[in-house]
Amino acid sequence: MKLAVDQINNWIFVTGVIRSGTTFAGKVLSLPVEVDYIHEPYGEQRARSNRPDLFPYVRPSINTKEMQKYHEFTKRIFSYDLTLRGYYPEKDPWLRKVTKRLVGSRAPFYLRLAKLNVFHKAAIIKDPIGLLLAEYLHLHFGVKPVIVIKHPVSLIASLKRVNWWPHPRELADKQLIKDYFYDETEFMERSWSTPMLASAAYWRAVHKVLLSQARNYPNWQVVTHEELCRNPVSAFKHLYEVLDLPWSESVKRRILKLTQGNRSTEARKGIVQDFQRNSANLFEMRRDSLSLEERRAVFEVVKDVALKIYTRESFAID
């Protein structure tokens, strides 16, 4: 069936580490009816790869068989010629489980909507699993990367809430090490004493790569989660403008509803991703939930990369 994907002349790739706000950013950028939303297509492909424990890395040169497999899969994303399976976490509330069984989980649900959308002129591909693919996608498919960065102490606090702990070993692709960590293999191979410190090392490693790439491409958008929360309307309006997306008063009202819809800053009980809450003070709440000792320990791991984006004062360690 012809899906008229050739009507889409504006492809945008939203990525960042898990729990950094990529879903929030992707959904807000895809609010207009003319904009499709593709949710995490690389998760399924990674599960089928030779190393499903690693985040995929593809050089622009596509010089290994594994990279070539990802390239063939990626071409299908841009024609919507793919099938995405549902994801049904055991921890989901019963009502959400029932809803997902009826309409499908996010990835297949939004892909169906995109295939049916006769008005589409742009598409958001949102995927934290593909965070090491930004340069490859930009050079081969002309996507506009949007890198969402969350303050490391805020991210650690968020990971602690859901008990998810990424580790640098998930980035241990030998090509990636050769390209970005040839001078600090010890850091990537270190045994970290706690999951918190390992996740801080993961934050540092990911952002060393992404910021290094972004410096080479002035049109890449690097935005902090804190700015999206503190000034959501102005921050997203700027992104809409530079990404050539259709801004409207309707979009503005929906952003306000999402970021001020719940008087509480804390997420509602049982909800891993709660978008309808008061976001203005979210950073301070997350940061201050870690002890002074924890914040200092995180700072020591990430400081050389983090201080390119955040101030020392933002860690509240003095």
Could you tell me the CATH number of the domain that includes residue 76? 3.40.50.300
| 315 within a domain of the structure (yes/no) | no
Q: pLDDT category, 91, cuts 50, 70, 90?
A: low
| 318 within a domain of the structure (yes/no) | no
Distance, CA of 234 to CA of 253 (rounded, Å): 12
Tens digits of residue pLDDT in 120-149: 999 999 999 999 999 999 999 999 999 999
Highest average pLDDT, of 39-53, 80-94, 122-136, comes from 122-136
Count of structural domains, the chain: 1
* Across 204-214, average pLDDT: 98
The two structure tokens encoding residue 36: 């499709």
| 317 within a domain of the structure (yes/no) | no
Q: DSSP 3-state assignment of 297?
A: helix
| 316 within a domain of the structure (yes/no) | no
Rg, C-alpha atoms of the chain:
19
Residue 56 burial class via C-beta count within 10 angstroms: exposed 0-12, middle 13-18, buried 19 and up: buried
pLDDT at 1: 44
Distance, CA of 103 to CA of 171 (rounded, Å): 34
Distance, CA of 13 to CA of 143 (rounded, Å): 6
| 40 within a domain of the structure (yes/no) | yes
* Across 200-215, average pLDDT: 98
| 31 within a domain of the structure (yes/no) | yes
Asked whether residue 193 carries a pLDDT value surpassing 50, the answer given is yes
* Across 287-302, average pLDDT: 96
| Helix boundaries (H) for 48-183 | 65-77, 94-103, 106-116, 134-141, 152-162, 174-180
Tens digits of residue pLDDT in 233-253: 999 999 999 999 999 999 999
Q: pTM (2 decimals)? A: 0.88
| 66 within a domain of the structure (yes/no) | yes
* Across 147-158, average pLDDT: 96
Annotate 13-46 with DSSP letters as a single string: EEE-STTSSHHHHHHHHT-STTEEEEE-THHHHH
| 131 within a domain of the structure (yes/no) | yes
* Across 291-308, average pLDDT: 97
What is the extent of the structural domain holding 199?
5-310
